[in-house]
Amino acid sequence: MNNLSKLTPQSLWENFAKICSIPHPSKHEDEIVAYLLEWAKKHNIKAVKDEVGNLILSKPATKGMENRKGVILQGHIDMVPQKNSDKEHDFTKDPIEPIIGDDGWVRANGTTLGADNGIGCAAAMSVLQATDIEHGPIEVLITIDEETGMTGAFGLKPGYLEGDILINLDSEDEGELYVGCAGGLDASVELGYKEEKTPADTKAFKISITGLKGGHSGMDIDTGRANANKVMIRLLRKSIKDFGLRLSSIEGGSLRNAIPREAFATVVVPNQYVEKFNTFVKDFFTVMKNEFSNVEPDIAVEITPIDLPSTVIDEKSGLNLVNVVYGLPNGVMRMSDSMENLVETSVNLAIVKTEKGVAEIKSLIRSSVDTAKEAVGEKMTAIIELAGGKITLSGAYPGWKPNMKSPILKTMQETYQKMYGRIPEIKAIHAGLECGLLGAVYPNWDMISFGPTIRNPHSPDERVHIESVEKFWDYLVETLKNIPVK
């Protein structure tokens, strides 16, 4: 592990290094929350844990700043646990291993880094412990389980926070201010299937789709990256039709908010078609390389001979599953009419898995228009009803509507221009920032989001730009100094 404390600002990077050292994937935040409570006690910072596990930490205004509006700095402490297939790592036990690259970025050794949103939380910690920053009343809201359902934001109750301005620290492009975000809806599908004895005179193979970039299912959905589940199903459907392939099992993707990077299937093929099947897979790989030549240069499609499984999925159920996954929507559904280059509505077909007679399919629908989000859910429902399956739409959370007359937006625009000689870009984000949920609980808040430059979050290629972290920190400090009076 590289020494992050040699980077600037030192306190922020030291706090981030400590966060990396404590396992904190979504739904496993107890250890990091306990550490933060002890850390607050050590620094004489008032700290409260609410009913769902969120932390609220507070610090009085510095001398002469008591009349400023109260600011809430907000981030989430959980991280997305993704690793390369050849990396041995238990996210519930092992620390993240940050690496300082010669290219000016910090990344992790074969796993997600957790800069989303560990950098934001580390910055908030550094503000709390600093003795040389001018600021009005400060509160820090650190939420849990943002990545797998926004449990912390959903569970926040009125009365815990007193501030007027929420500054969310969970955006991923330095020099940009975010004033809106998409809402989300989970779609969970169950398709039953029967198993039968593996036919005689067949050979078994493991099919592997690997090497894809994956990434954030909101931020990266418009990049045209391949979805491993969709690639696998395309291969399977053609092979069922042409070579009598029988499916024994399939498993692709692992998180609803990460574009699937890998998919695996166990199949059997009649002996008379084995040679043609092998040739087809080689040709299919070439086709995929050509189709995704610019965005997926490392895509790999491989088949490996294995021992025959004892059972396969019956023909009717197997084809039904393949057709459903082939037909379900994935990717960008519609671009925004009101903001250039903003995705309005999208779907990430995130997980496909067969186990004990049930095929599970999980997708995440995002949209900045609630009715459009609901319409996609109904479209998926229609498909699943035709296929004889069951679909559950749940976990809906609202988007955050932009307020272009926001006072904190004006303050931060002016501050950035004074510091760097230009006005920052104003954007909305096709991702589920917690601002929509939090603003529903505290409707008086004036809200904004910003952060350093992070690339490929939710994938093992995640990295954070070192220079942008320093600018992000300097900008945060100067913003706090310029918060208007009440």
The active-site residue, picked from 29, 78, 170, 186, is: 78
389-427 burial code (b ≥16 CB/10 A, e <16): bebebebebbbbebeeebebbebbbebbeeeeeeebebb
Omega of the bond leading into 117 within 30 degrees of 0 (cis): yes
Q: What is the dihedral of CA 416, 417, 423, 426, to 10 degrees?
A: 20
Omega of the bond leading into 9 within 30 degrees of 0 (cis): yes
For residues 301 and 212, the answer to whether their CB atoms sit within 8 Å is: no
CA–CA distances in Å: residue 340 to residues 176, 344, 412, 426? 15, 10, 22, 11
The active-site residue, picked from 139, 146, 172, 173, is: 146
CA–CA distances in Å: residue 198 to residues 118, 264, 276, 316, 352? 48, 19, 20, 15, 22
The one-character DSSP state at 60 is P
Say how far apart CA 177 and CA 414 lie, in whole Å.
12
For residues 68 and 60, the answer to whether their CB atoms sit within 8 Å is: no
For residues 107 and 113, the answer to whether their CB atoms sit within 8 Å is: yes
202-210 and 263-270 strand pairing? antiparallel
Say how far apart CA 131 and CA 75 lie, in whole Å.
22
Count CB neighbours of 328 within 10 A.
Answer: 22
Q: How far from chain centre, in Å, is Cα 95?
A: 19
Say how far apart CA 349 and CA 263 lie, in whole Å.
12
**Catalytic site residue 146?**
yes
Q: Token pair of 65, please? A: 């700043």
Say how far apart CA 194 and CA 190 lie, in whole Å.
13
Say how far apart CA 122 and CA 452 lie, in whole Å.
12
The one-character DSSP state at 70 is P
Q: Token pair of 290, please? A: 């050509």
SS3 16: helix
Catalytic residues: 78, 146
